[in-house]
Amino acid sequence: MISKVGVVGGGQMGGGIAEVCAKAGIDVVVHEVTAEFAEAAAGRVGKSLTKAVERGKLSEEDRDATLGRLTFGSDLAAMADRDLVVEAATENEELKKQLFADLDAIVESTDAILASNTSSIPITRISQATSRPASVVGLHFFNPATVMPLVEVVRSVVTSDEVVTRAAAFATDQLGKVVVHAKDRAGFVVNKLLVPYIIDAIVMYEEGFASKEDIDAGMVNGAAHPMGPLTLSDLIGNDTMLFVAESLFEEFREARYAPPPLLRRMVEAGLLGRKAGRGFYDYTK
């Protein structure tokens, strides 16, 4: 049973993971790079919990209890006593490797699990930054983590059976998530299928085959998707989409993963999607 969780990164994903864990009765420490960022992360989680109260999905008592299980700070040394640490930093391989090297030196228990929320980077490459690669696993939550039921458990070629079993049990038994197991290839299960779909939609719009409104409406009303592919790219973050597409293309060298020029232009123009307040519906050709 995991009783102490650390989350490295308090952004949209990290904050959501921390909230889910704290709601499940787990003591959670969230790390951010500065005290100001840590304070902002605490504010976002607090706002999310208050909205849940307002919507009748959480009692005030449970909100307060959840907040009481959350600690936010900027000292990575606070991860020392954690049973499980989930890295939810920016999708940058070198940054993740450095964080895992630091966590390897800080986290005291030899039984602790070091997990990455990466959506595209192979776990084997990340685990090589540590002296305990058998303890490194992928725990890929989906956005928003407070709502989406899925967690991908990704084992590297050296992740131990025990760690995979414990990580899956944590996600299912303690957090109430649905787990799928994936091999350690870029994109895992969901993004290996999802990214080409979004890329095709971007290319379709870029080539003038259909308007962005009709592309999204077509998939919502014709395929029963909760949102269209361009809206989904904005939700994920167009910069994240670009990085994931680049990672998949680098690994598989298949044209279906090649980032479309429009996506690059969007990122260069700062049209990063919901988190930036500007995305595909602000773009004009």
Q: Write down the pLDDT at residue 36.
A: 97
Distance CA 249, CA 259 (A): 8
- Indicate the pLDDT class of residue 79, thresholds 50, 70 and 90: very high
- Average model confidence (pLDDT) for the chain? 96
Nearest of 260, 253, 284 to residue 271 by alpha carbon:
284
Q: Is the Cβ–Cβ distance between 113 and 130 less than 8 Å?
A: no
Tell me the domains of the chain and their CATH numbers. 4-182 (3.40.50.720), 192-277 (1.10.1040.10)
Banded model confidence at residue 284, pLDDT cuts 50, 70, 90: confident
Decide: 40 and 46 in contact? Cβ < 8 Å.
no
pLDDT range class, residue 35, cuts 50, 70, 90? very high
Residues annotated as catalytic (active site), given as ranges: 119, 140, 152, 191
pLDDT at 120 over 90: no
Mean pLDDT of 70-75: 98
pLDDT above 70 covers a percentage of the chain that reads 100
Q: Does an H or E element contain 174, and which?
A: none
Half-sphere exposure of 172 (CA within 13 A, CB side): 12
Confirm if 121 and 247 have CB atoms less than 8 A apart.
Answer: yes
- The pLDDT tens digits of the residues spanning 5-23 come to 999 999 989 999 999 999 9
With H, G, I as helix, E, B as strand and everything else as coil, classify residue 141.
strand
pLDDT higher than threshold 80 for residue 285: no
If we measure between CA atoms, which residue out of 18, 65, 82, 62 comes closest to residue 44?
18
What pLDDT sits at residue 242?
95
Say if residues 39 and 53 touch (Cβ distance below 8 Å).
no
Residue 49 confidence (pLDDT)? 97
| Phi-psi sector, 258: left (phi>0), alpha (psi -120 to 50), beta | beta
Residues ≥6 apart with Cβ < 8 Å to 113 = 2, 83, 84, 85, 135, 136, 137, 163, 166, 167, 170
Tell me the pLDDT tens digit for each residue of 226-283. Answer: 999 999 999 999 999 999 999 999 999 999 999 999 999 999 999 999 888 999 999 8
Is residue 25 classed as helix, strand or coil in its secondary structure?
coil
Q: Is the pLDDT of residue 90 over 90?
A: no
Return all residues near 279 (Cβ < 8 A) that are at least 6 apart: 230, 233, 234, 238, 266, 271, 272, 273
Q: And the tokens for 182? A: 């994936």
Task: Give the pLDDT of residue 115.
Answer: 98
